[in-house]
Structure 1
Amino acid sequence: MGNMGQDQVTSLSSRRGIATAARIVVKVGSSSLTSVAGGISEDALVKLVAVLAQRRLAGTEIILVSSGAISAGLLPLGLSRRPKDLATQQAAASVGQGLLMAHYNRAFTSHGVTASQVLLTAEDLTRRHQYVNAHRALERLLLLGVVPIVNENDTVATHEIRFGDNDRLAALVAHLVKADALVLLSDVDSLYDGPPAQGAKRISEVASPEDLEGIVIGSAGKAGIGTGGMATKVQAALIAAETGIPALVTSTGQAAAALAGEDVGTWFGINGNKRPVRMLWLAHLADIRGRLVLDDGAVRAVSERHKSLLPAGITAISGDFDAGDAVELSDSAGRVFARGLVNYRHSDLPQMLGRSTKELAKDLGREFEREVIHVDDLVLLNG
């Protein structure tokens, strides 16, 4: 059964539409899969797989983005908490990923459903060639009736370019496969307007980021196992919603109700249009290496007239960056309004500030007769 496409996406005006959605990305966090004693909870995983397998057998295409590899590797390595250093995280992921997939394969096979492993890095979703390959592989798996189980490739990922948490990875995967909906599962049943233990009210629906103004959103994971918390789930849901994919945030225990379209969790309605996944990465995930301060004319050119950034409009720079790195753009008051991939090293720019490209080409050479940031490598943060 194929994806119904954009018409189906725009028809999901409420959580009830999940019940008939043709393609759904489901993300589950480490805390939902971890036992009290450490390692993977067989019972929790089996219950979740039963829900997902039932929906797959009913004809819906399911992509599962699953955390848990590092958590699964802690017990075999004699570790009590998630390690902070990258090397030990990679070691734990290397040990745990196979264990995690063994659990999933056994559980899905018991329902007559085939599962597969798909490990992605941020580069797989931001570089054109790798993006196309990732898209092709997932489409073929779905066509063959498989449930792809996606995780970040923690064993080879670096601090400089990684998703950092699987919530945002799930949002980008949903965009990659043109999903009809994104469902983010954790150990919290909904977003609340305050601490649930203090009588806070459930937030049933979020129509735009403005609905969340003044609400304090927790970020700590349970027992040091996860990397996200509610803050990253909300961010991921907003990323999806602003690119044309509605999202639902709820608990793993409510998975069946969520997929049935029942009134559970917090629904993030569509509030934008689809844009390239590379721009999503730049807006939300890129490692920012510096800042360029623009004069008023350059701010208007970039933000209102959607022009490339030229050296004549830059008044100050900060940071240590190379050509190709991500930098943020601010106005003279310090308001950051855009991000972009810069074409020059930080050490090249001081001699270029305030000068035209024609003048720079004459004085410094033809290689300086180009934009500091091309419009195709710019993303506005509030537009």
Structure 2
Amino acid sequence: MTTTMSSEPATAADRTLLATAERLVVKVGSSSLTSVAGGISEEALLSLVEVLATRRNAGTEVILVSSGAISAGLAPLGLGRRPKDLATQQAAASVGQGLLMARYTQAFGARGITVSQVLLTAEDLMRRQHYANAYRAMHRLLHLGVVPVVNENDTVATHEIRFGDNDRLAALVAHLVKADALLLLSDVDALYDGPPKDGARRIPVVSGPEDLDGVNIGRTGAAGVGTGGMMTKVEAAGIAAGSGIPALVTSTPNAARALAGEDVGTWFAVSGTRRPPRLLWLAHLASVQGRLILDDGAVQAVRDKHRSLLPAGIVSVKGDFEPGDPVELADGDGRVVGRGLVNFSSYELPRMLGRSTKELAASLGRQYEREIIHVDDLVVL
């Protein structure tokens, strides 16, 4: 495996890391690959491949997270725009993914580079065995000199369990492969402190969430074929930077300058330490099924002492959930302090509240002598 960067935080403006990174995750959105007439633009795709192939042939390991499967499938299915219902999105993705990969295979192949298709679902980064399998496969592909082309497996993904957009997927893939940096490309050249048409200024560096206080971040892209927009890119960059991986947000035409470490786009400096991708999913992407209200002692134990959640510290239960579902943990004022994967259903929990595990084992059986949420399945927010 390639040796990754030091875990020490980079300086705020040290975007030169992109020029020296040994392993990069690059994400490109549908809006950057789509032609005016619809479908995938051959010119845009070839331009991006030229930049990435040059970097790969110089020795850097590159993982490309590429949207565009649904967009590529629209024209063959006679669809004028991105469908809103999940079933038609899945059909378009099924048709378009093969077309998209064929273009990447040809374009990279002309430059002596082999590509592979890697389709992931959120479940692949939630379940330990799936995660381990994904890591091994990606590691081996990189060792063999392949450029993995990653996309969400839209054909089988469901509303209940999916990444929602490839920006978040890219942030998690960056952690999966232990990348040195993340580059998020779109049709917008940087994050601004307001609408660019109104004379807003580029924000060159974000050192932490506080730097974004009061910044109005748009939610949709101009092309109308993607699912993200600047909001999801900022969220993804924040996920990466908050967990030890610096990120740059810029436009696809700026890709070469960005990878050379030039002052383009918005750089998200490292603001936290690395965490397992499963906990990143739990903190940022999981579909919460319920809420547990905790007393002050339990809040302190979970938030400040990083302990497991026991039944004695739970005041009330809200929602309808099953064992293994994600739930929120909140204090008496309703402030969310964490999320976790619960070991008991909302049907079982009410009779357990305020009782010790030993008392529960004596009255209900040994299977109740355990945590409501184990510390390994809990993330503090």
TM-score w.r.t. structure 1 length? 0.96
Matches within 5 A, 1:150-299: 150-299=150-299
> Quick one: distance in 2 between partners of 1:327 and 1:201?
39
Specify the alignment match of 1:111 in structure 2. Answer: 111
1:7 alignment partner in structure 2 = 6
How far, CA to CA, are the matches of 2:21 and 2:374 in structure 1? Answer: 38
Q: Percent identity?
A: 72
Q: Distance in 2 between matches of 1:348 and 1:222?
A: 48
**C-alpha distance in structure 2 between counterparts of 1:151 and 1:363, whole Å:** 49
The aligned residue for residue 96 of structure 1 is 96
Distance apart, 1:91 and its partner CA: 0.5
CA contact (8 A) 2:33 2:41 kept: yes
Whichever residue aligns with residue 178 of structure 1, its letter is: K
Aligned to 1:29: 29
Amino acid at match of 1:217: I
Q: In the TM superposition, what is the alpha-carbon distance from 1:3 to its structure 2 partner?
A: 2.5
**Who is 1:321 aligned against?**
321
Secondary structure of the corresponding residue to residue 222 of structure 1:
coil
> Cα offset for 1:365?
2.1
Q: State the one-letter code of the partner of 1:347.
A: Y
CA distance in 2, matches of 1:168, 1:136: 21
Shift of 1:183: 0.2
1:50 paired to 2:50: yes
* Alignment-derived partner of residue 308 in structure 1: 308
Q: Deviations over 1:145-179 (max 9, x none)?
A: 11110001111111111111100110111111111
DSSP-derived class of the 2:289 partner: strand
Residue-pair matches, total:
380
By how many angstroms is 1:221 displaced? 2.9
> Do 1:279 and 1:379's aligned partners in 2 also have CA atoms closer than 8 Å?
yes
Q: Which string of whole-angstrom CA distances, capped at 9 and with x for unpartnered residues, describes residues 188-210 of structure 1? A: 00000001111000000000111
Partner residue of 2:351?
351
One-letter amino acid of the structure 2 residue matched with residue 286 of structure 1? A
Aligned equivalents of 1:148, 1:240: Cα separation in 2: 19
Identify if the C-alpha distance between structure 1 residues 334 and 8 changes in structure 2 by more than 3 Å, giving closer, same or farther.
closer
Q: Secondary structure at the match of 1:275?
A: coil
- 1:113 Cα deviation from its structure 2 partner: 1.4
Aligned to 1:121: 121
Distance 2:8 2:293 in 1: 39
d(CA) in 2 for partners of 1:224 and 1:196?
19
Give the aligned residue type for 2:271. Answer: N
Q: Could you tell me whether the CA contact under 8 Å between 1:66 and 1:150 is conserved in 2?
A: yes
1:80-91 to 2 correspondences below 5 Å = 80-91=80-91
SS across alignment from 1:119: strand
1:238 is paired with a residue whose SS is: helix
1:12–1:18 contact (8 Å) kept in structure 2: no
8 Å CA contact 2:7–2:273 kept in 1: the answer is no
1:125–1:278: 8 Å Cα contact kept in structure 2?
A: yes
Alpha-carbon distance, 1:60 to partner:
0.8
Please name the residue that 1:39 is paired with.
39
Looking at structure 2, the residues matched to 97 and 12 of structure 1 have their Cα atoms a distance apart, in angstroms, of 39
* Counterpart residue type for residue 88 of structure 1: T
The residue type paired with residue 63 of structure 2 is I
Q: Secondary structure at the match of 1:7?
A: coil
Deviation, 1:233, is 0.5
Letter in structure 2 aligned against 1:284: H
Q: Per the alignment, in what secondary structure is the counterpart of residue 151 of structure 2?
A: strand
Q: Quote the Cα distance in structure 2 between the aligned partners of 1:145 and 1:317.
A: 51
Asked if 1:378 corresponds to 2:378, the answer is yes
Gaps spanning 5+ residues in structure 2: where?
Answer: none
1:11 Cα shift? 5.6
SS at match of 1:194: coil
CA-to-partner distance for each residue in 1:291-313, whole Å, 9 max, x for gaps?
A: 11111111011111111111111
Cα distance, 1:8 vs. partner?
A: 7.8
Counterpart residue identity of residue 215, structure 1? V
Change (3 A) 1:86 1:246: same
In structure 2, distance between residues paired with 1:170 and 1:120? 11
Which SS does the other structure have where 1:5 is aligned? coil
Q: Shift in Å at residue 10 of structure 1?
A: 4.9
Q: Tell me if structure 2 keeps the 8 A contact 1:9–1:245.
A: no
Q: Segments of 4+ in structure 1 off by > 6 A?
A: none
Distance 1:108 1:204, change over 3 A: same
RMSD value, Cα: 1.3
Task: Flag the 1:22–1:12 CA change in 2: closer, same or farther, 3 A.
Answer: farther
Q: Which amino acid is the alignment partner of residue 378 of structure 1?
A: L
Residue 44 and residue 12 in structure 1: after superposition, are their counterparts in 2 closer, same or farther (change >3 A)? farther
Structure 1 residue 9: Cα displacement: 7.4
Residue 355 (structure 1) shift: 1.8
User: Which AA in structure 1 matches 2:6?
Assistant: D
Alpha-carbon contact 2:9-2:271 (below 8 Å) kept: no
Shift of 1:7: 2.2
How far 1:228 sits from its partner (Å)?
0.7
